[in-house]
Amino acid sequence: KKLQEEFHMLQRLPMKGLSIIYEDTDILIADKPYNMLSQKAKEQDLSANEYLLGYLIRSGALSLETFGTFRPSVCNRLDRNTSGLVAAGCSLAGLQKLSAMFKDRSLHKYYLCVVSGSVKEKKRIEGFLKKDEKSNQVTISQKELPDSAPICTEYEPLMETESYTLLKVTLITGRTHQIRAHLASIGHPIVGDMKYGNQRVNEEAKRQYHIHSQMLHSWKLVFPQMEEPLAHLSGKSFTAPLPGEFQKVLGPLPEGVR
């Protein structure tokens, strides 16, 4: 009975701004809006995972019978206030393969973000990241500290305005808050980032452009060569269009990133 109640509760959930980018019997890729959890942190939370389960139930892809033994799940966690691509495994094979690719980093992820200041050249930066579990905040250092982990971030400027730069970011390692903290540590915090950002920059962006969230977007996923059942996705790439806030702040965007 409890299972049925949960199934019918999920069935009634709206999409809440989530949009489907790609779907087959094994995987689903969706565009998550900011201010939405990827997966729930507490029992009562509603996250992209629950909204996507509701979508799969309504579309007939997930039956009550299957729901009792297997649940599709989002495999990559974006911060609540990061928008963009989340990928879910809809079958056991899809879930296992996707999870493995995110873990071994063979599924390439690219982000777009707006940072404060002028960035002129493509760079790969390294350092060490240490997480404080109590505050859920990280610190970046150039030297290895106890309990710190090595990090590597690559970025490339795509366009610049008087105050901001649009960066394409590639995570070489994938740690908690890595992009946000690493860019802030080199003096180019992400616009709208309340945890690692610059308060003056954020207040100006809020006043001038009504920016209320961090301007970090999970933009593109590129699949490696794969075997069945995901062989049909080999070499394919999927992108999530930039939220309207990016154009508000930057003006006309470069070809290929709209």
In angstroms, the CA 145 to CA 93 distance is: 39
Question: Any idea which residue has 């508000």 for tokens?
Answer: 248
3-state SS, 190-240, equals ECCCCCCCCHHHHHHHHHHHCCCCCCEEEEEEECCCCCCCCHHHCCCEEEC
Is 79 a catalytic site residue? yes
Q: Which residues pair with 27 in a beta bridge?
A: 89
Which among 26, 31, 79, 193 is annotated as catalytic? 79
Q: Name the burial class of residue 104, with classes exposed (0-12), middle (13-18) and buried (19+) by CB atoms within 10 angstroms of its CB.
A: exposed
Is residue 221 within 8 Å of 107, Cβ to Cβ? Answer: yes
The strand pair at 123-132 and 108-116 is best described as unpaired
- Buried (b) or exposed (e) across 155-179, using 16+ Cβ within 10 A? bebbeeeeebbbbbbbbeebbebbb
- Whole-number Cα distances in Å, 170 to 68, 124, 155, 181: 38, 9, 6, 14
List, by residue number, the catalytic residues.
79
